[in-house]
Amino acid sequence: MHAEISVRVTPRSSRNKIQALTDSSVRAWVMSAPTDGQANEALIELFASTLKVSKSRISIIRGHTSRSKVVQVDGLDLATCMALLG
């Protein structure tokens, strides 16, 4: 079981935050810069802390160099993820 969530990321923000937009998409703000994968790592840490799962259960499956990404969460279904992120 896994969930795939569309994410629009804004790097270099003043805070780390996630906001649910629709049933399967979210908007995320991370304080890290988008260099050397720092923003991607910050996004994974933000998802892990918000969903209360380990970082190893979260991966970026599309959009490693883009602001629009698809994040996969193993072990949780989409409805549960969106409820926790909302």
pLDDT value of position 22 = 80
Backbone angles phi, psi at 7, to 5 degrees: -130, 135
Q: Which domain holds residue 81?
A: 2-85
pLDDT tens digits for range 21-79: 888 899 999 999 999 999 999 999 999 999 999 999 999 999 999 999 999 999 999 99
Distance between CA 86 and CA 84 in Å, rounded?
6
Q: Could you tell me the pLDDT band of residue 4, with boundaries at 50, 70 and 90?
A: very high
pTM of the model: 0.93
- Alpha helices by DSSP H, 1-86: 38-51, 78-85
In the chain, the amino acid numbered 15 is R
Q: What domain count does the chain have?
A: 1
39: CATH: 3.30.1200.10
Q: What share of the chain is helix, strand, coil (3-state, %, to 5)?
A: 30, 35, 35
